[in-house]
Amino acid sequence: MKKLSVVVPVYFNEGSLHVLFHELLDVERGLHELEVELELIFVDDGSGDGSFGELVKIKAHRPATRLIKLSRNFGAVHASKTGLQFVSGDGFVILAADLQDPPSLILDMARRWLAGSKFVTCVREKRTDPILSTLYAKIYYRLLRLLVVKNYPDGGYDLALMDKVMLPHMQSSGKNINPLVFAFWLGFKPDVIPYERQKRIHGKSRWTFTKKLKFFLDTMLGFSIVPLRIISVIGMVVSAASLAFVVFVVINGILGRYDVPGFATLASIISFLLGLVICMLGVIGEYIWRIFDEINRRPEAVIDEIH
């Protein structure tokens, strides 16, 4: 019998865990009909509410469930990768605990996996998120398709079933790598299941603007050299424009038509160029930081307890 591992990162999800667990029990019954065993792995990412207490209750109800408690909050990506270290199944899924991605989709993905697909994705066709979140998502995915992966799904995806052949790559990916883009980048042809992302009804999203911005930078800088090439192009354009201006000044000086520019004009040009240089150094610094973060041997997450 094949085994399917489901990794669930948990962070302030006390209100949804009871419902999630019962839906996963329904999924487990469905998987048994497909002759697939379910492995459940919950990772508490330093929740400050009663999430771990709910997980202990789940463990008491289903002893085969694996519980991992991190020493503090390290972020959903690192919590998920910690859970992947304990996966023993023939396939695996990372499932959010907020119920916006219906657990019932696991059965649809499992059927396609059993039919031979190694990478099954659930692509969002619609979403009921707040307007600002929806707008951010549209801009993010448009830039992602433009600069990183041209055939990435328009609406993106959060839920996917991956065959065990992808597991070593996912476990050893970089600290600041977007795992969803990385999985897509590996090259396995995705088998797509369209769905509508549900409205969040349990708890409050902890996916803040700061975390979204970091995720955006990790994606763009972790998979693309385009930002550095944009810097090079801007540098060449500015240099060409400066050279043209120098030629203009010299010619006008020779012809006696040269007027000394005013202080305001000169100050504006210098301020603009200095701002441009600082932005360029910032982009380069982001790349350098990611190199340093990969080699400084700092763990991605620290496990406090394993049950």
Interval 8-36: pLDDT, tens: 999 999 989 999 999 999 999 999 999 99
- Tell me the β-bridge partners of 124: 195
**Rounded to 5 degrees, what are φ and ψ at 190?**
-75, 135
**What's the pLDDT band for 107 if we cut at 50, 70, 90?**
very high
More confident residue, 113 or 288: 113
Read off the DSSP letter of residue 35.
T
Six token digits for residue 171: 């476990």
Helix (H) or strand (E) holding 285: helix 263-295
pLDDT of residue 278: 81
Mean pLDDT of 66-78: 93
pLDDT of residue 153: 83
Residues 15, 204 contacting (CB under 8 angstroms): no
pLDDT of residue 70: 96
With b for 16 or more beta-carbon neighbours within 10 A and e for fewer, the 229-265 pattern comes to eebeeeeeeeeeeeeeeeeeeeeeeeeeeeeeeeeee
Burial of 280: CB neighbours in 10 Å, binned 0-12, 13-18, 19+? middle
Query: Considering the entire predicted model, what is its pTM?
Result: 0.80
SS3 of 44-91: the string is: ECCCCCCHHHHHHHHHHHCCCCEEEEECCCCCHHHHHHHHHCCCCCCE
Residues 114, 2 contacting (CB under 8 angstroms): yes
Mean pLDDT of 112-130: 86
**What's the pLDDT band for 254 if we cut at 50, 70, 90?**
confident
- The class level of CATH for 2-204+300-306 reads alpha beta
Residues in the chain: 307
Interval 231-251: pLDDT, tens: 778 878 877 777 777 777 677
What is the CA 158 to chain-centroid distance, rounded? 9
